[in-house]
Amino acid sequence: MTQNTGFTHVSPHKILYKKKLYPTALHLLEAMKFLGRRNDLAERVRLTERVPDLLALTEELEGQVRRDWPDIMESKMEEVLYMKFRQHPDLRQLLMETNDAELIYDEEGDSFWGVGVQGQGANRLGQALHNVRERLRREGAGRSFGLGRG
pLDDT (tens digit per residue) in 70-108: 999 999 999 999 999 999 999 999 999 999 999 999 887
Q: Which domains does the chain have, with CATH numbers?
A: 3-139 (1.10.357.40)
pLDDT (tens digit per residue) in 31-52: 999 999 999 999 999 999 999 9
- Count the residues in the chain: 150
For residue 1, pLDDT over 50 is answered with: no
Are the beta carbons of 96 and 86 closer than 8 angstroms?
no
CB-side neighbour CA atoms (13 Å) of 142: 0
Rounded Cα–Cα distance for residues 133 and 141 (Å): 9
Helix (H, G, I), strand (E, B) or coil at 37: coil
Question: b/e per residue, 98-136, with b = 16+ CB within 10 A?
Answer: eeeeebebebeebbebbbbeeeebbbbbbbbbbbbbeeb
